[in-house]
Amino acid sequence: MTSIKPTIQTYEELQEAYDCLNEHLFKGQLPQCIITLQREKKTCGYYARDRFVDKNGSPVDEIALNPQYFDLDDIPSILTTLGHQMVHQWQSHFGKWSRSGYHNKQWAAKMEEIGLVPSSTGEENGARTGFKMSAYPDPNGKFTKVVTDLLTTEFTVSWRDRFVEIDDEEIGSEEPVKTPVYKSQKNVRDLLNGKTKSKKQTRIKYSHVCEEGNTVNVWGAKDLSLTCGICQKPLEPLN
């Protein structure tokens, strides 16, 4: 029989990660919370203020993480979700909370301050505020440095759910504030290593200046045979 106690091991690891991020990214401001594992459908994690109380009625916050989306080969992605929820906790205690489920400009600014880039798509060029929000690390930000330093120690996340389901259905966001899952979200480990995956171009531009002086531009797949509807001459691919 193994001497490992998986419950203790799991929560000690998550507590160590929380304490590290709290100390180095939030100056130790955040109050201790209860970190739970929840299989919330299509949600990486969520934060809820005063979700638990003790026998004396003293409340404590909850940060929930979904083990179905733990990638043990990409631990920074787990810590990104944790950091995201810790920003919600910071805003709940020290900032101005928005209406149900909305990630406002103050939240986005705090995310950027700690080195996480807010994004509605989980990738570059996504909206920085909204209801359905994700994030990825700034390769040159504080979060990247703190996590990189943490991973040079013996820190790890040892357990994940065996059964994982990720699809492309639209994801909702309600109270408690949740972090949705994006199938297209960048691999955080690659981001920390300075690697990004460029999108393959699938469309090219075709153009033609006809005899009437009109310029016709069309974007489409490669190897199309297109003609000008005015002079019937072919459009030429430009790239």
pLDDT surpassing 80 at residue 58: yes
Cα(143)–Cα(188) distance, rounded to whole angstroms?
A: 11
Range among 9-23, 40-54, 158-172 with highest mean pLDDT value:
9-23
pLDDT surpassing 50 at residue 36: yes
Output 149 or 205, whichever has higher pLDDT: 149
Task: Decide: 142 and 24 in contact? Cβ < 8 Å.
Answer: yes
Output 115 or 69, whichever has higher pLDDT: 115
Average pLDDT rounded to a whole number, residues 77-83: 96
Above pLDDT 90, what percent of the chain? 54
The region of weakest confidence among 33-37, 113-117, 118-122, 181-185 is 181-185
Cα(46)–Cα(64) distance, rounded to whole angstroms?
A: 5
Average pLDDT rounded to a whole number, residues 88-103: 90
Residue 175 has what pLDDT? 43
Cα(145)–Cα(130) distance, rounded to whole angstroms?
A: 27
- What is the residue-averaged pLDDT of the chain? 82
Task: Decide: 179 and 134 in contact? Cβ < 8 Å.
Answer: yes
Range among 28-32, 39-43, 223-227 with highest mean pLDDT value:
28-32
Q: What is the DSSP letter of 126?
A: -
Domain locations in the chain as residue ranges: 6-192, 203-237
- Tokens of residue 234, six digits: 């072919």
Q: Which ranges of the chain would DSSP assign to H, the alpha helix?
A: 6-25, 75-94, 105-114, 142-150, 188-192
Residue 24 has what pLDDT? 98
Task: Decide: 18 and 79 in contact? Cβ < 8 Å.
Answer: no
pLDDT surpassing 70 at residue 193: no
Output 189 or 70, whichever has higher pLDDT: 70
pLDDT per position as a tens digit, 101-123: 899 999 999 999 999 999 999 88
Of residues 195, 78, 91, the one with CA closest to residue 147? 78
